[in-house]
């Protein structure tokens, strides 16, 4: 099977092209000689099955970042039949260097000039025929966002593979010395290519970007506008998502009672309870929140694809620098709102180890989608809709404050001197296809990634509630009751009762389990009924303390595993776990006892 490597700088639309070519069949694969996994997928062109590998975005094959080292190791250890070099057509004055380096290595390649429609709008004129002749490589103009030129890319790939069919793919030996020896040729070669084939405008025509940046990047208005936009986004998600969640929860509960329960009647009582109250109610409660997760990723997709997210990094860079971080740390923390795991993996773009470690301490405080499930449910159970939305927004602010405090406490231990290089893309209108595809992929990933933990978690909680045999389920004599009583001296000062304690213990495995565990503990699958049962058992200050503890305490097992693999230090991983537990307990102690002093406990 022929191997095609997808190579390009960050923000060139490389991932969009990957998805356009492969659809939704991508998977993570391990490659010999590499310490990281790469995205790969099978690609079929005219009956020929190819393997497409999406390499990390890099600026230079001789660069010093971890991602650039990964690309070099890949090319030095993997025989490649073709390199698909993706460049931003509007930034060829800065990006042709990468194509020239690939040519210097003698690799068979096709150069794809993505965002050609955007370049034309900005006044950039490209003679692709002349550029191809001078570069001695096929050049294709493309707009991956709209699918324009995709057929030409496929055709160029096939022709290039046929032309080099007689050549056996080889690894690139001595990559660094070869590039170093030819470094002096790059600048004059790039200048000659630009002179021959590219006409740049004297002034960029993107007036909308300049006008919007004058407001959105304003020194005084920029940050308030950003946080205001985030608050509005959460209000919309809450207003639209909660009714859908309640309707789906009611439907799943009705299916359990009217369809599944009669089918289980012949089974023993213990097994009936295990299947209906354990598996079905736990999974049903989590599944009811998938629409809200989808809405969240739809909204974040709009923010990210529009170019506003990189502006947030720019706005926060000066402030983050005072904490020993930079704007990239802020962006990765925002990515952590979806899932902490990929956000921590994203720290590989940072060259400085101190900056990476400090960012890895901060990111787990981002309010990930799994914790968002818990907060949406608890807020709906204890507060009116308007107040509930403010509570959710307050938890997001609390996550920022926890990250800020963590950075202040540990910045001296993990110092960094790496400067931030950030490129602000023009504002773009995201296409419905892009954001819907991304939201669906994230929801699917969330469900398939978490279901193994959810099944284990809800089954374990149900067994704890119903064992040993012969005791009243979820009573103080059950295993769950004994576990709750054992931890009560530690958690009762922060308002967390034994029932909530059991859910939190299993939340360490995966935060997705918390809601499933609560559904099993209170024997309710319908979110409305479950909310009423919990509201009858705990006060709203206890609910607030529970949400705060869920936000701040030990990240899920997957996140801890990624921190361990990325930091390669058991001591650092232990520090991350212990610090988050300590911060969660102290914060909840202050909040809960403070509310009690005010007479609300």
Q: What is the 3-state secondary structure (H, E, C) of 60-72?
A: CCCCCCHHHHHHH
Residue 92 has pLDDT above 50, yes or no: yes
Which of 305-309, 315-319, 341-345, 483-487 is most confident? 483-487
pLDDT of residue 289: 64
> Residue 559: inside a domain, yes or no?
yes
In angstroms, the Cα distances linking 248 to 56, 116, 252, 431, 539 are 39, 43, 6, 28, 27
Residue 27 shares a structural domain with residue 111: yes
Range of the domain at 32: 2-199
| Residue corresponding to tokens 């289980």 | 264
Q: Evaluate whether residue 429 is within a structural domain.
A: no
> Region 363-390: what's the mean pLDDT?
85
Domain edge (last residue) among 199, 233, 254: 199
State mean pLDDT over 393-417.
Answer: 90
Residue 173: its pLDDT value, please?
77
Residue 351: inside a domain, yes or no? yes
Average pLDDT, integer, range 351-370: 87
Whether pLDDT at 30 is above 50: no
Do 187 and 288 belong to one domain?
Answer: no
What pLDDT is recorded for position 250? 82
Considering the domain architecture, whether residues 394 and 505 belong to the same structural domain is answered as yes
pLDDT of residue 472: 76
State whether 264 and 125 are in the same domain: no
Position 517 in a domain: yes
Last residue of a domain, one of 199, 234, 264: 199
Average pLDDT over residues 424-430: 79
For the record, the structure tokens of 245 come out as 């969640």
- How large is the average pLDDT for residues 518-535? 83
Task: Tell whether 265 is covered by a domain.
Answer: yes
Quick one: pLDDT band at residue 32, thresholds 50, 70, 90?
A: very low
243 and 109, same domain (yes or no): no
- Answer yes or no: is pLDDT of 317 > 90: no
Whether the per-residue pLDDT at 451 is higher than 80: the answer is no
pLDDT for the residue 34: 45
Regarding whether 260 and 156 lie in a shared domain, the answer is: no
Mean pLDDT of 425-444: 78
Q: Of the candidates 166, 199, 232, which is a domain's last residue?
A: 199
CATH number at residue 33: 3.40.50.300
Going across the sheet that includes 109-114, the strands are: 27-30, 37-45, 48-54, 2-8, 82-88, 109-114, 139-141
Which band of pLDDT confidence, cut at 50, 70 and 90, is reported for residue 35? very low
What does the pLDDT read at residue 238?
A: 67
Pairing of strands 109-114, 139-141: parallel
Answer yes or no: is pLDDT of 583 > 90.
Answer: yes
* Statement to judge: residues 575 and 485 lie in one domain: yes
Same domain for 374 and 231? yes
190 and 232 together in one domain = no
pLDDT band (50, 70, 90) for residue 589: very high
> Do 29 and 159 sit in the same domain of this protein?
yes
Weakest mean pLDDT among 276-285, 325-334, 543-552: 276-285
Specify which of 101-105, 267-271, 471-475 reaches the highest per-range mean pLDDT.
101-105
Domain check: are 353 and 487 in the same one?
A: yes
Residue 443 in domain? no
**Phi, psi dihedrals of residue 41, rounded to the nearest 5°:** -160, 155
Share of the chain above pLDDT 90, in %: 24
334 and 312 Cβ atoms separated by less than 8 Å: yes
| Burial of 500 per CB tally in 10 Å (0-12, 13-18, 19+) | buried
* 276 shares a domain with 157: no
Number of domains in the chain: 2
Tell me, yes or no, whether 172 lies in a domain: yes
- Assigned domain for 425 exists: no
> What is the pLDDT averaged over residues 478-495?
88
Reported pTM: 0.66
The mean of the pLDDT values for the chain is 83
Between 288 and 389, the more confident residue is 389
């Amino acid at each position: 099977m022929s191997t095609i490597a997808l190579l390009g700088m960050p923000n060139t639309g490389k991932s969009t092209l990957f998805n356009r070519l492969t659809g939704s069949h991508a998977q993570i694969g391990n490659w010999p000689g590499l310490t990281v996994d790469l995205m790969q997928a099978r690609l079929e062109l005219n009956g020929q099955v190819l393997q497409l590998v999406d390499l990390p975005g890099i600026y230079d094959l001789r660069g010093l970042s971890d991602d650039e080292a990964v690309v070099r190791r890949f090319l030095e250890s993997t025989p490649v039949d073709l390199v698909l070099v993706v460049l931003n057509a509007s930034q060829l004055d800065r990006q042709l260097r990468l194509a020239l380096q690939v040519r210097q290595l003698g690799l068979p390649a096709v150069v794809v000039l993505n965002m050609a429609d955007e370049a034309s709008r900005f006044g950039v004129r490209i003679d692709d025929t002349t550029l191809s002749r001078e570069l001695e490589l096929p050049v294709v103009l493309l707009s991956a966002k709209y699918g324009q030129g995709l057929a030409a890319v496929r055709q160029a790939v096939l022709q290039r593979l046929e032309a080099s069919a007689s050549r056996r793919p080889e690894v690139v030996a001595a990559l660094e010395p070869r590039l170093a020896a030819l470094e002096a040729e790059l600048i004059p070669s790039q200048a000659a290519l630009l002179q021959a084939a590219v006409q740049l405008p004297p002034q960029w025509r993107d007036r909308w970007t300049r006008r919007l940046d004058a407001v959105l990047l304003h020194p005084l208005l920029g940050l308030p506008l950003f946080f205001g936009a985030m608050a509005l986004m959460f209000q919309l998600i809450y207003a639209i998502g909660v009714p859908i969640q309640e309707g789906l929860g009611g439907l799943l509960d009705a299916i359990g009672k009217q369809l599944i329960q009669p089918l289980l009647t012949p089974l023993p009582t213990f097994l009936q309870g295990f299947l209906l109250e354990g598996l079905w109610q736990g999974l049903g409660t989590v599944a009811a929140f998938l629409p809200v997760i989808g809405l969240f990723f739809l909204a974040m997709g709009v923010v990210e694809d529009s170019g506003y997210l990189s502006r947030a990094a720019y706005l926060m860079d000066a402030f983050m620098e005072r904490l020993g971080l930079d704007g990239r740390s802020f962006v990765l923390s925002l990515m952590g709102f979806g899932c902490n795991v990929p956000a921590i993996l994203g720290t590989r773009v940072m060259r400085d180890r101190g900056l990476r470690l400090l960012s890895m301490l901060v990111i787990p405080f981002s309010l990930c989608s799994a914790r968002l499930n818990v907060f949406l449910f608890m807020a709906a159970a204890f507060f009116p809709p308007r107040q509930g939305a403010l509570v959710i927004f307050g938890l997001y602010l609390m996550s920022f404050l926890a990250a800020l405090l963590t950075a202040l406490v540990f910045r001296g231990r993990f110092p960094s001197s790496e400067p931030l290089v950030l490129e602000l893309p023009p504002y773009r209108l995201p296409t419905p296809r892009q954001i819907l595809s991304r939201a669906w992929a994230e929801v699917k990933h969330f469900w398939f990634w978490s279901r193994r933990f959810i099944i284990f978690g809800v089954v374990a909680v149900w067994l704890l509630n119903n064992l040993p045999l012969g005791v009243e389920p979820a009573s103080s004599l059950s295993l769950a009751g004994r576990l709750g009583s054992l931890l009560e001296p530690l958690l009762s000062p922060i308002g967390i009762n034994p029932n909530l304690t059991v859910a939190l213990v299993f939340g360490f495995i995966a935060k997705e389990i918390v809601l499933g565990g609560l559904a099993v503990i209170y024997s309710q699958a319908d979110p409305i009924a479950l909310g009423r049962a919990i509201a009858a058992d705990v006060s709203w200050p206890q609910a607030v303390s529970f949400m705060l503890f869920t936000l701040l305490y030990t990240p899920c097992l997957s996140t801890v595993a990624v921190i361990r693999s990325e930091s390669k230090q058991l001591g650092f991983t232990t520090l991350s776990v212990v610090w988050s537990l300590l911060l969660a307990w102290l914060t909840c102690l202050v909040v809960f006892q403070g509310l009690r002093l005010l007479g609300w406990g």
